[in-house]
Every structure is written in structure tokens, then in C-alpha cells.
Amino acid sequence: MDMTPPPASQKASEKASVYQPSQQGLYFPKPPVFQSVEEERLHRKQRLAAVCRVFARYRYEYGFAGHVTVRDPEFPDRFWTNPFAMDFGRVRVSDLLLVDHAGTVLEGNWAVNQAGFVLHSAIHQHHPHVLASCHMHTANGMAWAALGRPLDPITQTAAGFYNDHAVITEQAGAVVVDREAGQAVAAAFGDNKAVIHQNHGLFTVGRESVDEAAWWFIALERACEIQLKAEATGHPLKLISPEAAAHSAKHLATPMAAWLHFQPIYDAVARTEPDLFD
């Protein structure tokens, strides 16, 4: 795997941002441009496998619960996902499954998690703009989901989800195995990048990359943890003003910002666990 920074011709210096006010001639990470659909497919699969490794590192696993999906670049009605009941910490590119909306495994030798398939398939089918999605049964996410409340804008992290996350009560606490139930949950997702499924846990999506979906999940889990700890003090929360929260969301909650946040995380796992690319 080539981890060498791109040549100077690919350096990002075209557009100023909160992170890049004026850095002409310096390397600035930006998403790759692909020369073929095969190249893009491999990239998406590599990033998906890396997300699985990262979630294992972060101890997001809970038995066989948890799914990460990304659309195939050539066949948008198919998506790649992790094998059922395989440790996230050993998932490799070659282990990934290609599944269609009917639940048929088109590539791969492992079974697919049917409950996970029903929800993720519905999300991808109902929302064509969604490229990738993540769902794990994390401790803080499940604890916050039990409250059935949206997060308050109490930190910059939480402000990243300001007016861009929802609480879904449909099928709250139920194991969703029926396609109609999955469609109901997907419809309630709306255009949000994240949802708190009451009595269940967290879901996030990426509009441009699986990196984006993964970062939103990491950030959402952290935001839940922070608010749980803040409320545990018993002191009233100091909320960020709507204007400041909207401003932070505008600058910090873009697909590009999420992609950037995930790059050092990806770099760490790619360098220390190169077998994920097998």
C-alpha cells in the first residue's frame, strides 16, 4: 500500500477554509480522484475494512451486533458490508460481502446479518444520497438512546449535529427483521446525517465517503458520552446559542471536515495493521 503524499500538483490550495486559510504550496489532505470504477471500488472496500478495525480498537463491538456499509460505485443498488459474527478486529478487504437490496450475498462466503441488512438496506434504498452508513451497539449511544432525546448543543462536537440529527421512535427497542419495519425506520431518518434510535442506539451516514460516516459515528458516540457525564454532575447545562451552534455546524459539520477528521485515525490503523488490505 502506498502511503506517500500526493505530488505537488495534487496539493490542496484552491479554497480557503477554517482549517486552510492560506497554505499555498503545502500538502493538505483531500479525497482521491479515481481513474476507474475498479480503483474506486477497491478504495471503498479498503476504507470499510479500516473502519471495522478502528471500531474494534475503540471497543465499539458488542458480540455480533454492528454493521458498516458502503455502496458499490458501479452498482448503486448493491453495497459492501462486514461478515456476520466476524470479529471487527480481523476483518480484511477480502472478507467483505457484496449484498443487494433483496439480501442476496453476491460476493463473499459468509452470511450477512439479517437484522442489520434490513435496516441498512432500507436506509440505502430510501436515501439515494447516502453512500455509507454505520451502526454499532455502543455503551454511551445505547444509554443516551434510552432517554429518547436529541442531544443539546453543549460542545463543538455536539454542535456538529445541530439541526442534523433526529430521534426515531419507530420500532424502538425491537429487533427489526421485517422489511416494512425497516422502511419505516429509514423513512424517519429524513435528510439527517445521524439518528438516535430510541432504546437501540446510534446510526450515522456519509454522503460522500465511508470515512465521513465513520467519523460522524465516533463524534456522535463522544457527544453522547459528554452529555451523560455533564448531566451526571447535577448542574444545569450551559447551551451554545442557536447562532453559534449553527455557525459551528456550518464550518465543522461538512462531509469534507468529517473526512479530514478520519484521516489520522485511518493512517494509524493502516500503518499498524496492514493485513486489513489482504
In tens, the pLDDT along 1-35 reads 444 444 433 433 345 556 665 677 888 899 999 99
Inside any domain, residue 26: no
3-state SS class at 99: strand
11 is a domain residue: no
Domain count of the fold of the chain: 1
**Domain presence at residue 87:** yes
What is the rounded average pLDDT of the residues 219-248? 98
What's the rounded Cα separation, in Å, for the pair 108 and 118? Answer: 18
Asked whether residue 107 is assigned to any structural domain, the reply reads yes
Q: Please indicate, yes or no, if residue 131 is contained in any of the structural domains.
A: yes
2, part of any domain = no
Structural domain range at position 93: 31-277
**Is 180 part of any domain?**
yes
Domain assignment of residue 19, yes or no? no
Distances (CA, A) of 184 to 120, 168, 188, 208, 253: 12, 10, 6, 24, 26
pLDDT tens digits for range 102-117: 889 999 999 998 777 7
Which pLDDT tens digit goes with each residue over 139-184?
999 999 999 999 999 999 999 999 999 999 987 766 766 777 788 8
